[in-house]
Amino acid sequence: MPTQTPALSPTLTAPVAPQHPTPMTKHGDTRIDEYAWLRHKEAPEVIAYLEAENAYASALTAPLKTFEDTLYHEMLGRIQETDLSVPYRLRSWLYYSRTEAGKQYPILCRKAALAGEDAPEHVLLDVNALAEGKAFMSLGAMSLSDNDHLCAFSTDDTGFRQFTLSIKDLRTAALLPMQRQRVTSVVWAADNQTLFYSTEDEVTKRSNQVWKHVLGQEPDTLVYTEKDERFGVHVGRTRSRAYLLLASGSHTSSEVRYLPADRPHGRWRLVCKRRANIEYDVDHHGAHFYLRINDTGRNFRLVAAPLTNLASAHWQEVVPHRPDVMLEDVDLFQDYRVLYERDNGLEHVVMTALATGETHRMAFDEPVYSLGSGANPEWETQTLRYVYQSMTTPDTVYDYDMATRQQVLLKRRPVLGPFDPAQYVTERRSARAEDGTEVPVSLVYRVGTALDGSAPLWLEGYGAYGYPNDVYFSSSRLSLLDRGLIYAVAHIRGGGDLGKPWHDAGRMLHKMHTFTDFIAVAEHLIATHYTASDRLVIAGGSAGGLLMGAVTNMRPDLWHAVLADVPFVDVLSTMLDASLPLTVGEYEEWGNPNLKQYYDYMRRYSPYDNLTRQAYPTMRVKTSLNDSQVMYWEPAKYTARLRVLKTDGNPLLLVTNMGAGHGGASGRYDHLRELAADFAFMLSQLGRDA
């Protein structure tokens, strides 16, 4: 017989952070910040407070430890720990990654393509070896030289997303003496000697400079400096491999320079000068650059620009702008053009044979799914690799023959144990927002789950930067579904779920739509008897954590429990501090509060500034000490103030990973432990059996 989930320890006293009121005045409005002192990361009292909160959270949830372990082993038991990715071919090699049971990180490998299955394995990078003696390890940029001898790669061992560039000689497995700090992107020129890389500003972490390194030569040459603080730079290469690209972009505008890859010491030339509110990216085919650009409409069109004259008067429109279809990406092959489109929130792949102009669109059966381009580095191929998944279908790798229209299933991620996708149902519904807009919501639940309002429901949201909140498969989520939970994703404005206008409708002075959309989705799910407010859990991270803070202030009665992961909750103070990473570039997403209209608007929703004396739901707030995107002090200040103001007896936890960054633990087992702790806590609040 199942046992009831243990109750949390009721006798503990939560930490109380000292108050040191700091007045902050802007536009005649004075805010008092009692916890500004928590910004001083090196101060012993700050670390002591975070550790006290961690100790409190650990003690309060100690009765759940057995349940956490159960969930962890349950979720781990569905994962094939020793596994191999589908190899892809690049020139004369087959590249793949593999994992080994008990090891936290992947091993990146290759084999000679023509040598058969018994060919010896060459290890490019063993991330486990890189991580030895470190609490955190993340790979950043990576680029292989055209002769396949050299691998340039960057690593971060703190979680602060501050990457160190190294070069490995794959013939000898030795690292070259060259290292560079704060590297954000990297690409080789065609001569196998010249490496271009971008670096970030030491204070703001804005990627602002591009450098050229020639093997065996010092010092490096500064190629480009981006002076506009809204813009960041990135280096790459066209799929044809013929051109190097230097892209400079903000949230609303972009500009690309190009250089023949076989002439790395030449002069970078401009494709198209930046213009306000016009974004574009570039690829190359034959005698043309191809620009995906939103100059005639927000959802982008595709144009061909002759290399002999790139002026817009000479552009040829290939795919026009469509108000109801977002052109998200383009892949060019020697004989085919592949478009990745989003129509009514669903992704599609459209292929065109360049010789004949014949076009076809791939069709998919499920009501909600996600597509992604797989590894397609080869130029001369008629095979497209793509990845498909849904909330009931594990991510699946296919090779699709664009000529014969036949596809081959290469691998579906294994889910160990008694998993049957037919035992789960996925749906797509829509909720009407307060202004009449229909907001999509995707749901998944186990067959037999009661749809009479008695089921608990986990509602996730994000809604920012134009990023689509696409559905995905999670074997760990089965631990929720098998305990009778319904899982839902709200595709709210501010994201890119329905194209660029969907983003526009939830940013700047329209940001409130993000929050009211989420509330409307929740109210719809309650009204249609999927759940009730006393069993509704909501979750979001980063900008989705801002969403959690805002809707909890606005409708605390609507939620039973809230999971806010690295939440961006101190919006006003952060956006008024231009010295912080990301701030100036973010003006195009949130607005510049140095201007009164934006200040006043942010003042209405900034979660920290709108905490008030009222009852709040149960909350689990998570952060990481080395987070460079949402600084740890935002959730710490938020929790400290909320403890003083809340009038209820519901649990409030602040959990800080003291050795990681924005994404939490980097190792796969450590990450699973964090997920098990989240699930155990939320399930305990819903009274689910262990």
**Secondary structure class of 287 (helix, strand, coil):** coil
DSSP β-bridge partners for residue 326: 342
Q: Which residues are catalytic?
A: 542, 627, 662
Say which residues have a Cβ less than 8 Å from residue 528's Cβ, sequence separation at least 6: 429
CB neighbours (10 Å) of residue 30?
Answer: 8
Gyration radius (Cα) of the chain, Å: 26
Q: Where are the beta strands (DSSP E) in 424-515?
A: 424-432, 438-446, 457-460, 486-490
Instruction: Identify whether the C-beta of residue 506 lies closer than 8 Å to the C-beta of residue 493.
Output: yes
> Residue 485, exposed/middle/buried by CB under 10 A (0-12, 13-18, 19+)?
buried
> ∠669-370-379 over CA atoms, to 5°?
95
Separation CA 110–CA 123 (nearest Å): 7
Report which of 104, 78, 74 is spatially closest to residue 668, judged by C-alpha positions: 104
Separation CA 602–CA 662 (nearest Å): 23
> Residue 424, exposed/middle/buried by CB under 10 A (0-12, 13-18, 19+)?
buried
Report which of 562, 689, 551, 572 is spatially closest to residue 622, judged by C-alpha positions: 562
Distances (CA, A) of 446 to 3, 70, 367, 421, 425: 21, 20, 16, 9, 6
Interior/surface letters 285-306, b for 16+ CB within 10 angstroms, e for the rest: beebbbbbbbbebbbbbbbbbe
Separation CA 264–CA 270 (nearest Å): 15
What is the layout of strands, in order, in the sheet containing 243-249? Answer: 232-237, 243-249, 254-260, 269-272
Find the Cα–Cα–Cα–Cα dihedral 529, 531, 534, 535, rounded to 10°: 160
> Residue 177, exposed/middle/buried by CB under 10 A (0-12, 13-18, 19+)?
exposed
Separation CA 59–CA 472 (nearest Å): 34
Q: Residue 300 — left, alpha, or beta (φ > 0 → left; ψ -120 to 50 → alpha)?
A: left
> Residue 173, exposed/middle/buried by CB under 10 A (0-12, 13-18, 19+)?
exposed
Tokens linked to 375: 């590894």
Instruction: Identify whether the C-beta of residue 170 lies closer than 8 Å to the C-beta of residue 149.
Output: yes
